[in-house]
Amino acid sequence: MRTFAVTGAASGIGAATTERLRADGHRVVTIDRADADVVADLSTPAGRSSAVAGVREVTDVLHGVVPCAGVAGGTGGDGALVASVNYFGTVEVVESLRPLLAAADSASVVVVSSNSVECQPGWSRELAALIADGDEPAARAAAAATEAVHVYPASKSALRTWVRRNAPAWAADGVRLNAVAPGLVETAMATVMRADPELGVFVDAYPSAIGRPGRPEEVAAAIVWLLSDEASLVVGTTLVIDGGTDALLNP
Ligand code: NAD
């Protein structure tokens, strides 16, 4: 039995990952705004600290962390919130839990990026670089001045940058860092995106080689594999899990 922490565990991909890990006999400490072992709002530094404290209360070793908490960037949405939850709510929690991961013989972190990095046009590499620089107030100011729909892929690209920059040093501690990049997955987030008055029509316009959106348990299966020792050679990479959307759009 291993011990994992999953954020955004109350819904969607996080819930499916939690369910799968528990079915495999592991212990999972769940974190979310509600319906979780540790209730915390990861959009703020105070909420992230309280999330980490809550995990530390119940364990001093972690074999993996899966930070799934994230928000979509819809019409009229709050770009600063997208940057804070998707990037800083991931990175700050994972970095704070590093000692618990290093305490395991081998550990693995799987962050959740998105194939919007490859497939969505019009987002700013400069904003992604600014977010990845790690100055949250500066990133929030730039994100607030950007349409939230374009902040989303920038925040998800910045996560990949964080993984690549940090994977070598963390691997020296026995902790593998990787990312998954799902395409459209049938979760509450997909429902929210479809209901968007301007962007909703585009949600199902992205092509898929398999002719359907993903299911959360399909993403969870890949995450669980990346968490396992079977993926011991996989370090610092991003696994796109999108039913072939990226392959179709970027042949
Ligand atoms: P979801 O809405 O079902 O789940 C997201 C979870 O994050 C929710 O339980 C929510 O309460 C939690 N959360 C949001 N803001 C939070 C905050 N401030 N503090 C704590 N928890 C917070 O969505 P999902 O599709 O399962 O999304 C999981 C991850 O997958 C996200 O990072 C998302 O960006 C990513 N993703 C989703 C899709 C998709 O099509 N569904 C595609 C690519 C990537």
Residues 139-178: tens digit of each pLDDT: 999 999 999 999 999 999 999 999 999 999 999 999 999 9
Q: Is 245 in the pocket of ligand 1 (CB under 6 A)?
A: no
Q: Is 196 in the pocket of ligand 1 (CB under 6 A)?
A: no
**CATH number of the domain enclosing 237:** 3.40.50.720
Residue 2 CA, ligand 1 centroid: distance in Å: 24
- pLDDT value at position 30? 99
Give residue-wise pLDDT tens across range 224-237: 999 999 999 999 99
pLDDT of residue 238: 98
pLDDT digits (tens, 9 = 90+) for 183-224: 999 999 999 999 999 889 989 989 999 999 999 999 999 999
pLDDT tens-digit map of 88-139: 999 999 999 999 999 999 999 999 999 999 999 999 999 999 999 999 999 9
Q: How many domains does the chain have?
A: 1
**Would you state the pLDDT for residue 49?**
98
Check residue 171 and give its pLDDT: 98
pLDDT of residue 209: 97
CA 161-165-170 angle, 5° bins: 125
Tell me which residue range forms the domain holding 214.
Answer: 3-249
> What is the spatial distance between Cα 51 and Cα 58, in angstroms, rounded to a whole number?
11
Name beta bridge partners: 243: none
- DSSP for 176-245, written as a single string: EEEEEEE-SBSSHHHHHHHT-TTTHHHHTTS--TTSS-B-HHHHHHHHHHHHSGGGTT--S-EEEESTTH
Task: Give me the interface pTM, i.e. the ipTM.
Answer: 0.99
Tell me, what's the pLDDT at 7? 99
Tell me which residues are annotated as active site: 152
pLDDT tens profile 1-54:
999 999 999 999 999 999 999 999 999 999 999 999 999 999 999 999 999 999
Looking at residue 125, its pLDDT comes to 98
Which of 6, 7, 11, 204 most suits a substitution to test ligand 1, by most atoms within 8 Å of the C-beta? 11
The pLDDT of residue 212 is 97
